[in-house]
Structure 1
Amino acid sequence: MSLKFSVGDLTIHRIIEQEVPFFPALEMLPGLTAEVLAENRAWLREAKALDDQDVLILCFQSYVVKTPHHTILVDSCIGNDKPRPQRPKWNMKTDDTYQRALDVAGVSVEDIDFVMCTHLHVDHVGWNTRLENGRWVPTFPKARYLFAKQEFDYWTEQNAKAEVPPFADSVLPVVEAKRHELVGNDHQIGDHVRILPTPGHTPGHVAFAMGRGKDDAVFSGDLIHSPLQTLYPELSPKFDVDQAQAAKTRRSFLERYCDTDTLCCTAHFPSPSVGKIRRKGNGFVCAAM
């Protein structure tokens, strides 16, 4: 299993925190029928994307991307010491899996120049902060944390109605430490990093395209969770705020990168998680590298 990829002048490391059965396929994807699942069960199991009980297997990971100028962390996964009672495998974790994965990649928390979140859901912001003397402090002390303004505003509004724990313990402490920037969809970092609006999963969800002058790699976040959605882009998970918009965005994204050399780095596909988009019938596949 490869944890390191090179494309153009980018070096990409996968930082895996968990790879586990997550949700029953028919429950997570409300538009999925038992018949369609049966037609696809064999290849999904072979790809380690579905277990023997028809539960979707998801990988929870970050990507560290080294450009010629910066070291960037894309999404910060689940985190430790975070109260997540609805998710027993995430609740008050204390393991060193994430730190060991960074070590294997030869990266320290001090090396990260930018932390970029595709959106602000619990499993994409967790390591934004760590517990130190009873306080949440930024995990990556030298990094600027970039949050899409539309996404940040949406969660600020939700948090004002009732506390959203991941926002309270993994986003607001970064703001209080003055380590954040709210950025628009036209924001770029040098000539290597661009934002691609991909709304639907959340109102301000974005993907990140990287490469000098062309998209050598794209980081899709929760635009897509399972290889089954590549083949059937209309299948939106129940977690999408706007399932119809998410389906439209997903197909548009897959069309954009279909039959190109762009490396698609997914947030949740089972290992190897990274591939190139190719057309298959009325859908697509993410062909592993």
Structure 2
Amino acid sequence: METPTKRIIVDTCVGNEKKRDNPFFNNLQTPFLKHMEEAGWPRDSVDTVLCTHLHVDHVGWNTMLENGKWVPTFPQARYLVGAREWAHWQTEEDGGNAPVLADSVQPIFDAGLADLINDDHMICEEVSVRPTPGHTPGHISIVISSKGENAIITGDLMHHPSQIAHPEWSSGFDTNQKQANHTRASFVAEMADANTLVIGTHFATPAAGRVVRDGEGYRFTVD
């Protein structure tokens, strides 16, 4: 029996009509859903939404405004959230992220569409997650394996290819910079020997390439 094809979205960006302190994110009005539908991905066709972590620019389109209420954008999907990540935000006193959780995360729990997952959760035979903590305590990256090929969607494990050469360079948004640096350094060393396609969530186009050794360090190369 043939396994049904999964239609998975990894992180949902900023979202529309959301009041944010960052002017680049505030009250956006983009044709995101229209473009998705034109690409063959209408909202109702998505069956899984994977959240690498719960920052503002990764969960926005989890919900949309409908009759003055925030409702799940993808009503047929299960939203997968790391259990460690969720636990962190239940105790973290971060006023800046509180509105994000209120309008983009809590409504999917209220709708009964959220599932808390472990750091080694397998979504299907080809897609699983791996822990990459530091940016947030429960941050995960997405592993894709198919037909002998492997790829990883980094989430915010890295923000720029320069961090491959300098994994000790931190983002100001990392919750624990020391842990993030350690996670990144271990990841880069592993990828240099793995011939795995690395897809940098925040990398400029082209965002997918390989980590290769460069003397005593590493660099990013695009196929």
TM-score in same-fold range (> 0.5)? yes
User: TM-score band (shorter)?
Assistant: over 0.9
Alignment RMSD: 2.0
Amino acid at match of 2:27: M
* CA distance in 2 between partners of 1:256 and 1:214 (Å): 17
Task: Indicate whether 1:83 and 2:19 are aligned.
Answer: yes
Describe the SS at the equivalent of 1:125.
Answer: helix
The code of the aligned residue for 1:84 comes to R
In structure 2, which of residues 6, 27, 40 is the aligned counterpart of residue 92 of structure 1? 27
In the other structure, the counterpart of 1:279 is 213
CA distance in 2 between counterparts of 1:281 and 1:161 reads 44
Whether the 8 Å contact between 2:37 and 2:43 is mirrored in structure 1 is no
Normalising by structure 1, report the TM-score.
0.72
Q: Which whole-Å CA distance do the structure 2 matches of 1:286 and 1:132 have between them?
A: 42
Q: Which of 16, 41, 44 is equivalent to 1:107?
A: 41
The 1:212/1:95 distance shift into structure 2, 3 A limit, reads closer
Match of 1:49 in 2: none
Deviation, structure 1 residue 84? 0.4
In the TM superposition, what are the counterparts of 1:173-188 in structure 2 within 5 Å? Answer: 173-188=107-122
> CA separation in 2, counterparts of 1:120 and 1:188?
20
How far apart are the structure 2 equivalents of 1:160 and 1:244?
Answer: 20
Q: State the match for 1:53 in structure 2.
A: none
Change beyond 3 A, Cα 1:163–1:260:
closer
Aligned residue in 2 for 1:234: 168
Structure 1 unmatched ranges of 5 or more:
1-66
* Maintained 8 Å contact 2:55/2:97: no
Structure 2 unaligned residues grouped into runs of 5+: none
Post-superposition shift, 1:213? 7.9
* Aligned partner (choices 145, 151, 157) of residue 217 of structure 1: 151
Q: List structure 1 segments (4+ residues) > 3 angstroms apart after TM superposition.
A: 159-163, 212-215
2:139 — aligned with what?
Answer: 205
Q: Which amino acid is the alignment partner of residue 52 of structure 2? A: T
The answer to whether the 8 Å contact 1:136/1:169 transfers is yes
**Amino acid aligned to 2:121:** H
After TM superposition, the score normalised by the length of structure 2 is 0.92
- In structure 2, distance between residues paired with 1:111 and 1:159: 36
3-state DSSP class of the match of 1:208?
Answer: strand
Count the aligned residue pairs.
221
1:201: how far off?
Answer: 0.4
The residue identity in structure 2 corresponding to 1:231 is A
Encode CA deviations 1:25-65: one digit per residue, 9 max, x unaligned: xxxxxxxxxxxxxxxxxxxxxxxxxxxxxxxxxxxxxxxxx
Report 1:46-85 matches (<5 A): 69-85=5-21
The structural deviation recorded for 1:238 is 1.3
Whichever residue aligns with residue 257 of structure 1, its letter is M
Aligned to 2:123: 189
